[in-house]
Amino acid sequence: MTAAIGTRPPAHGLRILRVEVAEGLRAIVREPTALFFSVLFPVGFYALFTTIFGGQQGFVAGLPYAATNLATFGAFGVVSVMLMNPGTAVAEDRTRGWLRVKKVSAVPIGTTIAAKVIAALPYAVAVMLAFSAVSLLVAGPVLEFGSWTRLMVALLVGSLPFALLSLAVGFVLSAGASAAVLNAVLLPMAVASGLWFPLEMMPPFVQNLAPLLPTYHLSRLALAQLTGADAGVHVVALLISTAVAAALSGWAYRNLRV
Protein backbone atom coordinates (compact mmCIF):
# COMPACT_ATOMS: atom_id res chain seq x y z
CA MET A 1 0.00 0.00 0.00
CA THR A 2 1.18 3.47 -0.72
CA ALA A 3 1.81 5.87 2.10
CA ALA A 4 1.98 9.16 0.28
CA ILE A 5 0.39 10.77 -2.72
CA GLY A 6 2.90 11.68 -5.32
CA THR A 7 2.96 12.69 -8.94
CA ARG A 8 3.90 10.10 -11.54
CA PRO A 9 6.27 10.63 -14.41
CA PRO A 10 4.79 11.23 -17.87
CA ALA A 11 5.75 7.65 -18.81
CA HIS A 12 3.04 6.44 -16.43
CA GLY A 13 0.48 8.61 -18.23
CA LEU A 14 1.58 7.13 -21.56
CA ARG A 15 1.24 3.58 -20.20
CA ILE A 16 -2.32 4.34 -19.11
CA LEU A 17 -3.06 5.92 -22.50
CA ARG A 18 -1.74 2.82 -24.24
CA VAL A 19 -3.92 0.56 -22.09
CA GLU A 20 -7.00 2.69 -22.73
CA VAL A 21 -6.42 2.88 -26.48
CA ALA A 22 -5.72 -0.84 -26.69
CA GLU A 23 -9.04 -1.56 -24.98
CA GLY A 24 -10.87 0.56 -27.56
CA LEU A 25 -9.03 -1.02 -30.49
CA ARG A 26 -9.68 -4.55 -29.24
CA ALA A 27 -13.39 -3.74 -29.08
CA ILE A 28 -13.28 -2.76 -32.78
CA VAL A 29 -11.23 -5.77 -33.88
CA ARG A 30 -13.26 -8.29 -31.90
CA GLU A 31 -16.64 -6.88 -32.86
CA PRO A 32 -16.06 -5.43 -36.34
CA THR A 33 -19.77 -5.29 -37.14
CA ALA A 34 -20.07 -1.76 -35.77
CA LEU A 35 -17.11 -0.60 -37.86
CA PHE A 36 -18.48 -2.28 -40.98
CA PHE A 37 -21.92 -0.73 -40.78
CA SER A 38 -20.58 2.68 -39.72
CA VAL A 39 -18.44 2.78 -42.85
CA LEU A 40 -21.01 1.17 -45.15
CA PHE A 41 -23.46 4.09 -45.21
CA PRO A 42 -21.08 6.90 -46.21
CA VAL A 43 -19.17 4.61 -48.59
CA GLY A 44 -22.43 3.58 -50.29
CA PHE A 45 -23.38 7.21 -50.89
CA TYR A 46 -19.90 8.07 -52.02
CA ALA A 47 -19.94 5.20 -54.53
CA LEU A 48 -23.33 6.37 -55.83
CA PHE A 49 -22.29 9.99 -56.35
CA THR A 50 -18.90 9.10 -57.78
CA THR A 51 -20.44 6.62 -60.21
CA ILE A 52 -22.93 9.21 -61.49
CA PHE A 53 -20.66 12.27 -61.62
CA GLY A 54 -17.16 10.80 -61.38
CA GLY A 55 -16.06 11.58 -64.89
CA GLN A 56 -17.33 15.17 -64.88
CA GLN A 57 -15.44 18.33 -64.15
CA GLY A 58 -15.63 19.22 -60.45
CA PHE A 59 -16.75 22.59 -59.07
CA VAL A 60 -13.12 23.46 -58.39
CA ALA A 61 -11.50 24.43 -61.63
CA GLY A 62 -9.05 21.94 -63.04
CA LEU A 63 -9.99 19.04 -60.80
CA PRO A 64 -12.30 16.15 -61.70
CA TYR A 65 -15.40 15.58 -59.61
CA ALA A 66 -13.99 12.30 -58.26
CA ALA A 67 -11.04 14.22 -56.74
CA THR A 68 -13.01 17.09 -55.18
CA ASN A 69 -15.62 14.64 -53.94
CA LEU A 70 -12.88 12.71 -52.18
CA ALA A 71 -12.23 15.90 -50.20
CA THR A 72 -15.80 17.09 -49.58
CA PHE A 73 -17.62 13.79 -49.28
CA GLY A 74 -14.52 12.47 -47.55
CA ALA A 75 -15.07 15.19 -44.94
CA PHE A 76 -18.62 13.91 -44.54
CA GLY A 77 -17.33 10.34 -44.21
CA VAL A 78 -14.85 11.04 -41.42
CA VAL A 79 -17.20 13.40 -39.61
CA SER A 80 -20.05 10.87 -39.72
CA VAL A 81 -18.00 8.05 -38.18
CA MET A 82 -16.16 10.26 -35.68
CA LEU A 83 -19.34 12.00 -34.60
CA MET A 84 -21.44 8.88 -34.24
CA ASN A 85 -19.16 6.19 -32.79
CA PRO A 86 -17.29 7.50 -29.74
CA GLY A 87 -20.41 9.11 -28.27
CA THR A 88 -22.64 6.08 -28.58
CA ALA A 89 -19.82 3.84 -27.29
CA VAL A 90 -19.29 5.86 -24.09
CA ALA A 91 -23.04 6.16 -23.61
CA GLU A 92 -23.21 2.34 -23.68
CA ASP A 93 -20.27 2.16 -21.25
CA ARG A 94 -22.15 4.52 -18.95
CA THR A 95 -25.36 2.49 -19.14
CA ARG A 96 -23.46 -0.72 -18.34
CA GLY A 97 -21.59 0.87 -15.43
CA TRP A 98 -18.10 0.61 -16.91
CA LEU A 99 -17.74 4.39 -17.16
CA ARG A 100 -18.34 4.59 -13.40
CA VAL A 101 -15.50 2.13 -12.85
CA LYS A 102 -13.26 4.23 -15.11
CA LYS A 103 -14.21 7.45 -13.40
CA VAL A 104 -13.34 6.19 -9.92
CA SER A 105 -10.04 4.76 -11.17
CA ALA A 106 -6.82 6.73 -11.04
CA VAL A 107 -6.98 7.70 -14.72
CA PRO A 108 -6.78 11.48 -15.31
CA ILE A 109 -9.68 12.94 -17.23
CA GLY A 110 -7.47 14.09 -20.13
CA THR A 111 -6.10 10.59 -20.62
CA THR A 112 -9.56 9.03 -20.71
CA ILE A 113 -10.79 11.50 -23.31
CA ALA A 114 -7.63 11.37 -25.42
CA ALA A 115 -7.80 7.57 -25.47
CA LYS A 116 -11.41 7.59 -26.63
CA VAL A 117 -10.55 9.97 -29.46
CA ILE A 118 -7.50 8.00 -30.57
CA ALA A 119 -9.41 4.71 -30.41
CA ALA A 120 -12.03 6.19 -32.77
CA LEU A 121 -9.45 6.99 -35.47
CA PRO A 122 -9.63 3.51 -37.08
CA TYR A 123 -13.18 4.38 -38.12
CA ALA A 124 -11.95 7.47 -39.95
CA VAL A 125 -9.04 5.57 -41.50
CA ALA A 126 -11.38 2.79 -42.64
CA VAL A 127 -13.85 5.17 -44.24
CA MET A 128 -11.13 7.10 -46.10
CA LEU A 129 -9.44 3.93 -47.36
CA ALA A 130 -12.83 2.66 -48.56
CA PHE A 131 -13.57 5.99 -50.31
CA SER A 132 -10.17 5.91 -51.96
CA ALA A 133 -10.67 2.35 -53.15
CA VAL A 134 -14.10 3.20 -54.60
CA SER A 135 -12.69 6.31 -56.28
CA LEU A 136 -9.89 4.27 -57.82
CA LEU A 137 -12.32 1.64 -59.08
CA VAL A 138 -14.87 4.06 -60.51
CA ALA A 139 -12.79 6.98 -61.79
CA GLY A 140 -9.23 5.64 -61.85
CA PRO A 141 -6.32 7.54 -60.29
CA VAL A 142 -7.39 11.19 -59.93
CA LEU A 143 -4.85 12.31 -57.32
CA GLU A 144 -1.11 12.09 -57.02
CA PHE A 145 0.09 10.09 -54.02
CA GLY A 146 1.42 13.21 -52.26
CA SER A 147 -1.91 15.04 -52.57
CA TRP A 148 -3.80 11.96 -51.43
CA THR A 149 -1.55 11.57 -48.39
CA ARG A 150 -1.95 15.23 -47.41
CA LEU A 151 -5.71 14.89 -47.87
CA MET A 152 -5.82 11.82 -45.63
CA VAL A 153 -3.79 13.51 -42.88
CA ALA A 154 -5.90 16.69 -43.05
CA LEU A 155 -9.16 14.76 -42.81
CA LEU A 156 -7.99 12.48 -40.00
CA VAL A 157 -6.55 15.26 -37.87
CA GLY A 158 -9.43 17.57 -38.73
CA SER A 159 -11.94 14.97 -37.57
CA LEU A 160 -10.74 15.09 -33.95
CA PRO A 161 -13.04 17.91 -32.76
CA PHE A 162 -16.02 15.90 -33.97
CA ALA A 163 -14.97 12.93 -31.84
CA LEU A 164 -14.67 15.27 -28.85
CA LEU A 165 -18.13 16.70 -29.51
CA SER A 166 -19.46 13.17 -29.81
CA LEU A 167 -17.98 12.27 -26.40
CA ALA A 168 -19.55 15.35 -24.82
CA VAL A 169 -22.99 14.16 -26.00
CA GLY A 170 -22.32 10.53 -25.05
CA PHE A 171 -21.26 11.48 -21.51
CA VAL A 172 -24.62 13.16 -20.98
CA LEU A 173 -27.21 11.13 -22.91
CA SER A 174 -28.13 7.48 -23.29
CA ALA A 175 -26.86 5.51 -26.29
CA GLY A 176 -30.18 5.82 -28.13
CA ALA A 177 -30.57 9.51 -27.39
CA SER A 178 -26.93 10.17 -28.30
CA ALA A 179 -27.39 8.55 -31.71
CA ALA A 180 -30.53 10.59 -32.35
CA VAL A 181 -28.98 13.89 -31.27
CA LEU A 182 -25.72 13.31 -33.15
CA ASN A 183 -27.62 12.38 -36.31
CA ALA A 184 -29.71 15.52 -35.95
CA VAL A 185 -26.48 17.52 -35.75
CA LEU A 186 -24.60 15.67 -38.47
CA LEU A 187 -26.96 15.71 -41.44
CA PRO A 188 -27.94 19.41 -41.48
CA MET A 189 -24.33 20.40 -40.81
CA ALA A 190 -23.12 18.22 -43.68
CA VAL A 191 -25.63 19.60 -46.17
CA ALA A 192 -25.18 23.22 -45.04
CA SER A 193 -21.39 22.92 -45.37
CA GLY A 194 -21.51 21.69 -48.95
CA LEU A 195 -20.30 18.18 -48.14
CA TRP A 196 -23.00 16.44 -50.18
CA PHE A 197 -23.63 19.01 -52.87
CA PRO A 198 -21.47 21.99 -53.87
CA LEU A 199 -22.16 25.00 -51.67
CA GLU A 200 -22.64 27.06 -54.82
CA MET A 201 -25.89 25.14 -55.42
CA MET A 202 -27.27 26.15 -52.01
CA PRO A 203 -29.50 29.17 -51.22
CA PRO A 204 -27.64 32.33 -50.13
CA PHE A 205 -28.60 32.00 -46.43
CA VAL A 206 -27.03 28.53 -46.34
CA GLN A 207 -23.90 29.89 -48.03
CA ASN A 208 -23.74 32.59 -45.35
CA LEU A 209 -24.24 30.05 -42.58
CA ALA A 210 -21.58 27.61 -43.78
CA PRO A 211 -18.47 29.48 -42.52
CA LEU A 212 -19.86 29.20 -38.99
CA LEU A 213 -19.75 25.41 -39.18
CA PRO A 214 -16.65 23.29 -38.42
CA THR A 215 -17.63 20.84 -41.16
CA TYR A 216 -17.28 23.61 -43.73
CA HIS A 217 -13.77 24.42 -42.56
CA LEU A 218 -12.79 20.74 -42.62
CA SER A 219 -13.95 20.37 -46.22
CA ARG A 220 -12.13 23.58 -47.22
CA LEU A 221 -8.98 22.41 -45.47
CA ALA A 222 -9.28 19.12 -47.37
CA LEU A 223 -9.80 20.89 -50.70
CA ALA A 224 -6.81 23.10 -50.00
CA GLN A 225 -4.63 19.97 -49.97
CA LEU A 226 -5.63 19.45 -53.61
CA THR A 227 -5.56 23.05 -54.83
CA GLY A 228 -2.71 24.44 -52.74
CA ALA A 229 -4.94 27.29 -51.54
CA ASP A 230 -4.18 29.03 -48.25
CA ALA A 231 -5.90 27.10 -45.44
CA GLY A 232 -4.81 29.19 -42.44
CA VAL A 233 -8.28 30.42 -41.54
CA HIS A 234 -9.67 26.90 -41.72
CA VAL A 235 -6.93 25.55 -39.47
CA VAL A 236 -7.66 28.28 -36.92
CA ALA A 237 -11.40 27.57 -37.11
CA LEU A 238 -10.81 23.87 -36.52
CA LEU A 239 -8.43 24.60 -33.63
CA ILE A 240 -11.09 26.75 -31.99
CA SER A 241 -13.66 23.98 -32.61
CA THR A 242 -11.30 21.49 -31.01
CA ALA A 243 -10.78 23.68 -27.95
CA VAL A 244 -14.53 24.22 -27.52
CA ALA A 245 -15.36 20.54 -28.03
CA ALA A 246 -12.58 19.46 -25.64
CA ALA A 247 -13.86 21.86 -22.99
CA LEU A 248 -17.40 20.57 -23.48
CA SER A 249 -16.38 16.92 -23.23
CA GLY A 250 -14.19 17.65 -20.18
CA TRP A 251 -17.07 19.43 -18.47
CA ALA A 252 -19.48 16.63 -19.36
CA TYR A 253 -17.10 13.96 -18.02
CA ARG A 254 -16.42 15.89 -14.84
CA ASN A 255 -20.15 16.23 -14.21
CA LEU A 256 -20.97 12.73 -15.32
CA ARG A 257 -23.93 11.13 -13.51
CA VAL A 258 -23.06 7.47 -13.20
192's CB contacts (< 8 A; 6+ apart) are 202, 206, 209, 210, 213, 215, 216
Q: Kindly tell me which of 10 and 146 has the beta carbon lying closer to other proteins.
A: 10
Cα separations in angstroms, 184 against 56, 62, 100, 197, 212: 31, 35, 28, 18, 17
Nearest distance in Å: CB 4, other proteins? 8
The three-state secondary structure class of 147 is helix
Q: Which is nearer to other proteins, 6 or 203 (CB)?
A: 6
Give the up-direction half-sphere exposure of residue 235: CA atoms within 13 A in the CB hemisphere: 8
Residues of span 11-30 touching other proteins by CB under 8 A:
12, 15-16, 19-20, 22-23, 26-27, 30
**119/245 with CB nearer other proteins:** 119
Cβ closest to other proteins, residue 57 vs residue 95: 95
Contacting other proteins within 51-110 (CB under 8 A): 93, 95-101, 103-109
The HSE-up count of residue 111 (CA atoms within 13 Å, CB side) is 18
Site for other proteins contains 36 (CB under 8 A)? no
State the residues that interact with other proteins by CB under 8 A.
1-2, 5-8, 12, 15-16, 19-20, 22-23, 26-27, 30-31, 93, 95-101, 103-109, 256, 258
